[in-house]
Structure 1
């Protein structure tokens, strides 16, 4: 039976952005799937036309959604980007996944780094408290700073038109409340000795999740030794769906193969 690989997208990006990865992993013999977050439409257009459908969901809701999917069969290898990387870590820690890859993951509880670029990236949501229960859509200019800063403006605009969707504001508020919330949904069991392997990837030019944030997340799991970290120096937050996606996907596929050999 083919090993399941479950892809989890991040905030503001439609799950169809994983399509090239699905083709790559399926051609390598894996049973790959990329379900949407709760409320996502089948297409980018449908999701944009009904933004209220994605509103109100937080990290706990999204994690529960993917946990149900993961437990419907053999525990998968979970590959997540941005908030999807946070979800991947939660599924791995809970035993719902056999291994995980977290690419430019949203910070888990305990990460102390808070670079200016990350704060600025969150402002479209945090500037209004009412956004906690609303859907928020980035403008092209906002997308350029948060996702497309390491690629050309032309490509950034093309990716925005192709993949950008409204996303719930609540996950951003979950992050900002994590320090004072003992039951924070972004908390993850940091003992990595009794769960499957985890690869965390950071992008050296990422504004939304600066590389130091991804690196600190990996360091929190020490000294268990079941967590690896890798950095892609010249990549921004669009690294999994821009024109250089294969430069990231192939090493991830190679790593996944080593976990299933």
Structure 2
């Protein structure tokens, strides 16, 4: 039986951006899936045309949707997520719903107190207006270039924006920003669980949206767990790393790590 792999996208990027990873993983014998968030349409264009379908979706609802996908699989999946998708794979792994997880520039889980200025600036298109918590918000090309495309040529950033950007619900950003002041924050993750699968955290040194310091802070939160948690940093990459021209080294490194873990 082929091992399933579920790819989970983050805010503002459509799940179709995972297709190169899916093709590569299928070549290595995995069964791959990249379901969108609740409210996503099958294409970028259709998702852009109906942003109201994404409005108000939060971390708990998104996590529950992927838990249902996992429940229908014939075997425990490997979970690979980017940005808020990286936060979600940590939540699922902490619930015992995955065999292993890779979180690429993962959104901040509860307990992280590091808030770099670039992260604040990346979130301003949403967080600057409280009403956005109940809305879906699209980035402008300029905002995308700062949040995602700062480590690639401007022409490529514009191409990535046109190809993959979609509206994103504002709620997850508000939930993450207030998590340390909330007893039942939906971004909380069980970082002490000992009997979970291995976790790899990938950080990007030039990432504005989830700076490497935030990923390092996440790694430290797992210090109390006996389960495998590893951290790797790509010094010259930005937040677009999983779907820009340099996606393949990350994907191949992920495959190698999974092989070392016995998957």
**TM norm structure 2:** 0.98
Question: Contact 2:133/2:171 (CA < 8 Å) preserved in 1?
Answer: yes
Q: CA deviation at 1:132?
A: 0.5
The answer for unaligned runs of 5 or more in structure 2 is: none
1:162 corresponds to: 163
Name the structure 2 match of 1:36. 36
2:13 aligned with 1:13 = yes
Give the aligned partner of residue 80 of structure 1. 81
Give, in angstroms, the shift of residue 192 of structure 1: 4.0
**Cα drift, residue 259 of structure 1:** 2.6
Q: CA deviation at 1:70?
A: 1.2
Deviation at 1:260, TM superposition (A): 3.2
Given the alignment of the two structures, is residue 255 of structure 1 paired with residue 257 of structure 2, yes or no?
A: yes
Indicate conservation of the 8 Å contact 1:192/1:227, yes or no.
Answer: no
Distance 2:126 2:206 in 1: 22
Alignment check: 8 A CA contact 2:105 2:203 kept: yes
Within 5 Å, which residues of 2 pair with 1:203-242? 203-225=204-226, 226-242=228-244
List alignment gaps of at least 5 residues for structure 1: none
Distance 2:28 2:193 in 1: 28
Count of aligned residue pairs for this structure pair:
261
Which residue of 1 is the match for residue 90 of structure 2?
A: 89
Helix, strand or coil: the match of 1:237? Answer: coil
Deviation readout 1:214-251 (Å, 9 max, x if unpaired): 01101110143510000000000000000000011100
Find the aligned partners of 2:257 and 2:149 in 1 and give their Cα distance: 26
**Matches of 1:160 and 1:202, distance apart in 2:** 21
Deviation at 1:257, TM superposition (A): 2.1
Q: Measure, in 2, the Cα distance between the counterparts of 1:44 and 1:129.
A: 26
Partner of 1:47: 47
Aligned to 2:184: 183
Q: Match for residue 119 of structure 2?
A: 118
Paired residues for 1:61-76 under 5 Å: 61-73=61-73, 74-76=75-77
Contact 1:58 1:168 in 2 (8 A): yes
Residues 107-141 of structure 1: CA distance to partner in whole angstroms, max 9, x if unpaired? 11111100000001110001111110100000000
Q: Which of 219-228 and 28-37 deviates more?
A: 219-228
Q: Residue 260 of structure 1 aligns to a residue in which SS?
A: coil
- Once residues 120 and 79 of structure 2 are traced to their aligned partners in structure 1, the CA distance between those partners, rounded to angstroms, is 27
